[in-house]
Amino acid sequence: MSPKKSNDRRDKTAAHRQGSGDTNAAKVWPEKLVGAKYVRLLEKQLRNLQDEDAHGNRRLFLDDVFVVYLLAFFNPTIRSLRTIEDLSQTQQAQKHLSVDKICKSTLSDFNQFVDPERLVPIIQTLRGQLSRKLAGTSRATCDLNEMLKQTVAVDGTFLHAVAEVAWAVANSNNHGATRHRARLDAQINVSTWLPEALVVPEPGESEADSAIQQIQAGRIYLYDRGYSSFALLRAHYEPIPDSEEASLGVKSHFVVRYKKEGGNSPALSAAVDRPLTEEDRAAGVIGDRVGYFASDSARREGISQLPLREVIIPYEENGEPKTLRLITNLLDVSAKTIALLYQYRWQVETNHAHYVQRFTFSQED
């Protein structure tokens, strides 16, 4: 389905056009197609997606798949494998493809075998370009912004629209009927609002267990209440080399929202209050103390000897007074900074709404 790959993507696409005739003979997509400029901007990166390895009898390559998915992302009417197949045969798409047609059956098969890690260099390149662009921006608080570069907001949401794809999870409602839904776990860098990870977890896998697999050293992770897991806290530490007592050192930092003490929410034992500054109080902080989670569950998980910090911030929700309880292993920054960091986690909710609107592909027909 594709001619032999050349070393340059432009040559490859040109060879395809020459071999298949004038692209003007192809049909025209009936609506204005958005996103073609991004394909052109990524031309250099797309060369690295050219597949030099054979995939059996399949003649479909990652650069072509990337192009059609990128176009689909920016065009809300392209939301199924069939419409992608139709798009691939149009004049607008043929300008960027090396194949005459991307069949929905071939694309479905391709999605099962392709390694998504091959897209990481493109993401890293784009992130680097954005960082350089933002480098000249004025900073009110340099230390906070340096922290934000390493800060990742984490959350999960259920996407009912993608339920028809192969990895949907079946659940039963109260009426015994079967419904399908899949959860998208997102990790968003709060300095650029670019995704660090977008994961559809295994059926039955909790948000905390999914997040454990994505933890990287040197980051600061912001979690909501659904992530209040001792195993997740433990995953942010690693053994200190050559330590006689197998002590743990910080691998990465976290700020987790916990429910108030009591019930299933652990108490902070042997807690020592830390004095609040005027800036802390101006940020809304009313409590700051350091202690330990000393329950049997914490001991079994190996975190009962790790100092943890609790920062308390009151707020109102629909006129009702509530309390935000944050647990963190950031011990050397101000309580105000903890409060400001967590404010950025709310932005991930906005990003999720964006992904819910975008990720609505189905396998029709």
**Same domain membership, residue 172 and residue 77:** no
**13-22, 46-55, 95-104: range with highest mean pLDDT:** 95-104
In this prediction, residue 39 carries a pLDDT of 87
124 domain residue, yes or no: no
Contacts of 36 (CB under 8 A, 6+ apart): 71, 92, 95, 96
Query: Strand, coil or helix: what is 144?
Result: helix
**Same domain membership, residue 153 and residue 112:** no
363 domain residue, yes or no: no
Give yes or no for a contact between 305 and 237, defined as CB atoms under 8 angstroms apart: no
Q: How many domains does the chain have?
A: 2
**Same domain membership, residue 271 and residue 199:** yes
2 domain residue, yes or no: no
**Same domain membership, residue 166 and residue 54:** no
- Output the CA angle 138-144-147, nearest 5 degrees: 115
Q: Which of 118, 152, 177 is the last residue of a domain?
A: 118
In this prediction, residue 123 carries a pLDDT of 78
pLDDT bucket at 317, cuts 50 / 70 / 90 = confident
The DSSP 8-state label assigned to residue 33 in this structure reads P
Lowest mean pLDDT among 22-31, 49-58, 59-68, 208-217: 49-58
**Same domain membership, residue 349 and residue 240:** yes
133 domain residue, yes or no: no
**Same domain membership, residue 146 and residue 99:** no
Contacts of 362 (CB under 8 A, 6+ apart): 79, 80, 81, 161, 162, 164, 165
Give the pLDDT mean for 69-96.
Answer: 88
106 domain residue, yes or no: yes
**Same domain membership, residue 105 and residue 142:** no
Give yes or no for a contact between 256 and 283, defined as CB atoms under 8 angstroms apart: no
Please state, in angstroms and as integers, the Cα–Cα distance from residue 157 to each residue in 189, 254, 317, following that order.
17, 20, 21
265 domain residue, yes or no: yes
Return the higher-pLDDT residue of 125 and 159.
125
131 domain residue, yes or no: no
Domain containing residue 238: CATH number: 3.90.350
**Same domain membership, residue 151 and residue 68:** no
Return the higher-pLDDT residue of 134 and 166.
134
Give the pLDDT mean for 137-165.
Answer: 57
**Same domain membership, residue 55 and residue 174:** no
Per the structure block, which two tokens stand in for 312? Answer: 């308390």
pLDDT bucket at 285, cuts 50 / 70 / 90 = very high
In this prediction, residue 25 carries a pLDDT of 67
Q: Domain range for residue 274? A: 138-356
In this prediction, residue 325 carries a pLDDT of 95
pLDDT at 257 over 50: yes
Reported as a single tens digit per residue, the pLDDT across 17-34 is 445 555 556 789 888 888
In this prediction, residue 291 carries a pLDDT of 97
Contacts of 287 (CB under 8 A, 6+ apart): 273, 310, 311, 312
**Same domain membership, residue 262 and residue 162:** yes
